Structure 1
Amino acid sequence: MRTPATTAPLVHQVPYFSQWVTPELAETIVTRQLPAAEDPLWQAYGAVSPEEYDWWSWRLCGMACLRMCLAHWGLPVPTAMELAAGCVEAGAYVRREDGGLDGLIYAPFARHVEATWPLAAESRPDLPAEEIRQLLASGRLLMLSVHPSVRELAPTAPPARGGHLVLAVGYEAEALLVHNPSGFHGRSQEFARIPWSDLDRFYAGRGVVLGRL
């Protein structure tokens, strides 16, 4: 992609939430060294059992991003499970007969956000990377669809783009800054740098744009 013109860095000081309750355990969970059900703080997720927490935590990167947005704009922050339940009711998550989950589905999610909080939310199935910096500069935060391997900036292209949501929170001349709900502690969770020159390998060109009303 075309690298944005050099400009002063911009960073929105957004609180960070992992998609697991204990951010320090993200790497051991992602690499299957520890079942998510063994996270000692699982109850803070709002789940009724460790098994429910385990199942949902792998799927709620979008709810982690939403929690970050709510905290940033000074709004109450429900548990991830409370937010997920609202999204299921709104059709933004759909439980399949085979036991899987479809979502996050952007259009019903954006409508749900606008109906629930004093926020503007726009579903963007086509969101060119060249627009990201301008949107961030206008005070918005962006949920972007990327491949999960962005957490380690793998030098080769992943098998697909998208499949995981990160929250864009700022930029530098050479890199986009994101909060990655499945990032690794101390390396790729908060204000993680994705060089503009690397973004195309991971970014699916779609997302949701959020702002405070």
Structure 2
Amino acid sequence: MAVSTIKHAVPYYSQWESAALVPEFVAGADAALDPLWAGSGADSPEEYAFWAPRMCGVACLRMVLGSLELPVPPSVELVKELSAAGAYVRDGDAVKGLIHRPFAEYVTARWGLDARSAPVLDHRTVRDTLAGGGVAMLSVHWAIRTLTPVVEARGGHLVLAVGATEDAVLVHNPSGFPDGSQQYAPVPWADLDRFYAGRGILLGGRAG
């Protein structure tokens, strides 16, 4: 049976303030030189540069908040809230996170959204969530942006599934490139598991 196309209206946010410069940052350019860094709410360019490569989950949350017409705080402001909630754990220059369960608990408590961590998340559940009006944060390898044929690992990066067709899941990728892999980027279902760790976070509308 053919699957009808699902495409939710979700605004796009990059994990860097200057979405057009993502290819440069990914290639090693200093994010502290991002001309829009102050929009992140960071206290300094250095603080922004530290967090920007780690804010894929924050960018996904900002997209969800925007889609529900809720206030969208600056990214580093959200990092600080998530750190207080235990979703990021910093030890010097090392960061553990984004940790899914405390993130989902924070989103429910802070924003009143239906959010839950899904340690096992298969394709059908992603489709059903999208068909029901929700979205899903998927743990994938960053190379999903170019559909690299050979990937050394799965997971480690979060994208937001915002739609689906019979053949592909449509994602907003916080570290996507402006050539077409940022918004509604199609990832064939047949290719997804090459990058996908099989876990994520499901987000619906307002809880209760």
Distance 2:66 2:93 in 1: 31
Among candidates 38, 42, 47, match of residue 43 of structure 1:
38
Give the AA of the match of 1:15. Answer: P
Q: Supply the RMSD in Å over aligned alpha carbons.
A: 0.9
> Number of paired residues?
206
The answer to whether structure 1 residue 150 and structure 2 residue 136 are counterparts is no
1:211 aligns with 2:207: no
What is the identity, as a one-letter code, of the residue corresponding to 2:186? R
Runs of 5+ consecutive residues of structure 2 not aligned to the other structure: none
**Pairing 1:58-73 to 2, within 5 Å after superposition:** 58-73=53-68
Q: CA deviation at 1:184?
A: 0.4
Tell me how far 1:187 sits from its aligned partner: 2.0
Q: Deviations over 1:65-106 (max 9, x none)?
A: 00000000010000101111111001010012x420001111
Give unmatched runs, 5+ long, in structure 1: none
Distance 1:12 1:41 in 2: 28
Cα distance in 1 for partners of 2:79, 2:129 equals 26
TM-superposition CA deviations, 1:21-65 (whole Å, max 9, x none) = 011000111011x21111100000011111111110000100000
Distance in 2 between residues matched to 1:113 and 1:79, nearest whole Å: 15
- The answer for the alignment partner of 2:47 in structure 1 is 52
Partner amino acid, structure 1, of 2:191: D
TM-score (norm 1): 0.95
Counterpart in the other structure of 1:123? 117
Query: Does residue 177 of the first structure (1) align with residue 158 of the second (2)?
Result: no
Structure 1 residues 103-122: aligned runs within 5 Å: 103-122=97-116
Letter in 1 for 2:16: W
Q: What's 1:100 paired with? A: 94
User: Which residue of 1 is the match for residue 190 of structure 2?
Assistant: 197
One-letter identity of the residue aligned with 1:88: S
1:96-153 deviation digits (Å, cap 9, x = unpaired): 2x42000111111111111101211011011112211111000111110000000000
- 1:161 counterpart = 2:181: no
Aligned counterparts of 1:69 and 1:86: Cα–Cα separation in 2: 16
- Residue of structure 1 in register with 2:19 after alignment: 23
Task: Give the TM-score of the pair, scaled to structure 2.
Answer: 0.97
Match of 2:133 in 1: 139
- Could you tell me how far 1:8 is from its partner in structure 2? 1.2
State the match for 1:10 in structure 2: 6
